[in-house]
A and B are shown apart, each in its own frame.
Chain A
Amino acid sequence: MRMSVPAKVAVYALVVVSVLVVMFPLIWMVLSAFKTNGEIVDPDAPLVPSSWQWSNLATAWHAAPFGRFFLNTALFSVVTTVGQVATGMLAGYAFAMFDFPGKRVLFYLVLSGLMIPFTVVLLPVVDLLAHLHWVDTYQGLIVPNLASALGAFLFRQFFLTAPAELGEAARIDGAGVWRVFWSVYRPLATPMVASFTIIAFLQNWNNFLFPLIVTNSQRLMMVSQGLTVFQAQVNKVSYNVLMAGSLISVVPILVVAMIAQRRIVDGLALGAVK
């Protein structure tokens, strides 16, 4: 497509505007995190802090156990993501590659999990966890999130397109069911595993509603829920410390996002079948 110079300028100008639309809240957060509170509540104060208050970060960090929150979030995200990838890949592989009685019914059962939003079954799941005495425990947080019906669905789609001859050849060479899966087909799925892993990880890291209703002690809290406690703790008008806390909480995931940018884009594109 050949474009005239004014058209190019217009495109770049619009792109700059749209980047500003997406970035201004984050810029506002960073600027506010380093202001004095007086500067924030003064409508006539300039947008950039007159002197950068680095101590706000320390104040925020000590106002809530952020270290603990991060540790809990990392533990929860890593364990549930590994679980979702592993169980999803195994089930998807079996649904695509094996024949066994009842396969169709079992697949529809798993698919129904895809159609039941977690928010709908919130209350009975919490009741169940209460019966197990799992409320406010790590297992209560983690076990209900170990499987992903979406993962099973996506991996089934993937393995349906994998060549059958590879497995046949390995089987003739004497490889068993597990060997064929592990050494032949699992390596094929690596790009799919990478995209699904990053998306599942981000979703688990940012999970808010489930931890909110299953935990209530700070010992177990994840970053998102911890932030709401932090919000209640810092005086409601200490907006600078509030923004410093927000800044602390977004940094780790921003680093991940920068490193895994391409994978995130691929993973989000999978979202159309979500």
Chain B
Amino acid sequence: MSGSGGKPGRGPERAGGYVFVAPVLVLTLVFSVVPLLYVLRRSLYVGNVFDLDLRFAGLDNYREVLTGDGGPALLNTAVYTVGFVLVSMLLGMGVALLLDVRLPGLAQVRAFFIIPVVVPAVATALIWFTLFQPNSGLFNRVLGGVGLPQVSLDDQHTAMLAVIAFGAWQFFGEVVILYLAALKGLPGDVLEAAEVDGAGAWQRLRYIRLPLLRQQTALIAVVATLTGLQAFTQIKVLTNGGPQGATRTALYYVYEQGFNLGAGGSSGRADAMAMILFVVSLVVTLVQLAIIGRAAR
């Protein structure tokens, strides 16, 4: 962190330092750090819709969140995030291993997998909204064709499955790109030596490549987890958190409580849930920094 050697903090450089960092610093303070302190403070108070008559309430908001709809919302977030991370990582790693094979044409195919990552998620979520339509949607045509029960966005038991499927489809291309970069970094001589020694493709994968990728896998899992915790678009477009709260995640709870104050929402509860979400994300980010720190050593 200290400046690299031989760069004295001369007068103009000192002034330059403050001027150069000022825009990012001021905007970060005004739109991230200070608002976070507000969230923390307000999560400890209760008041009416317009924040008048605020009264200190200790952990009451947190208790209300956890005993009310917030508890199931946190559980939904956990279910969504675990499902999302598992499916997108397995798919992404599998496709990356395929595309890493040295055969003509495979390098060009990579471009397809970035499409869901870069086009507006609202548009692709609308597509999935029609894919899941009862009877006529493609998924339900296929499921019906092979005699399986339909997956519906209006069904409490299957809505979460649909939301996870969309999330994983939308994100796994990024996992592909991250794994391809990691695979490129593997030491070629080690793999060659193993091949010469007669290790088959499966053995090389199981005993050499996957262990070498462990750190990258952990890092990608962290990125995926942070993405999963922030899922919003598909829930807004596909289910609005329903049916009966079956897909209401922690973030969606914050959105509902915070922006439907007239309809029984409470900014205290929204802020308490936002703090919970912050602490969870912070823990995940600290894990990430620890991994990066270990990699740098």
Interface residues of A (CB under 8 A from B): 1, 3, 7-8, 11-12, 14-15, 18-19, 21-26, 28-29, 32, 40-43, 47, 86-88, 90-91, 93-101, 103-104, 106-107, 109-110, 112-125, 127-128, 143-144, 146-149, 151-152, 160, 164, 168, 176-178, 181, 202, 205-206, 208-209, 212-213, 223-225, 227-228, 231, 239, 242-243, 245-246, 249-250, 253-254, 256-258, 261, 264-265, 268-269, 271-274
Contact = CB atoms under 8 A, between A and B. Distances in A.
8 contacts: A11-B103, A97-B4, A103-B17, A120-B39, A202-B118, A206-B118, A224-B121, A239-B133
Given A106-B25, A208-B122, A227-B122, A98 B274 contact: no
Nearest to A201: B118
B294 interface: no
A243 B127 contact: yes
Interface string B4-48: 101111001111111011011101111111111011001000000
Task: Give the dominant DSSP class at A's interface.
Answer: helix
A257 B115 contact: yes
A252 B177 CA distance: 22
A19 B117 CA distance: 14
Contact of B195 (A1, A144, A202): A1
Given A113-B33, A160-B4, A206-B118, 8 more contacts: A40-B130, A98-B17, A104-B2, A110-B21, A117-B229, A124-B35, A124-B42, A164-B7
Contacts of A164: 4, 6-7
Contacts of A208: 120-122, 232-233, 236
Given A22-B173, A120-B274, A125-B31, A176 B12 contact: yes
Given A99-B9, A123-B267, A254 B115 contact: yes
B35 A121 contact: yes
Contact of B39 (A97, A124, A254): A124
A88 B7 contact: no
Given A99-B17, A152-B24, A249-B120, A120 B281 contact: yes
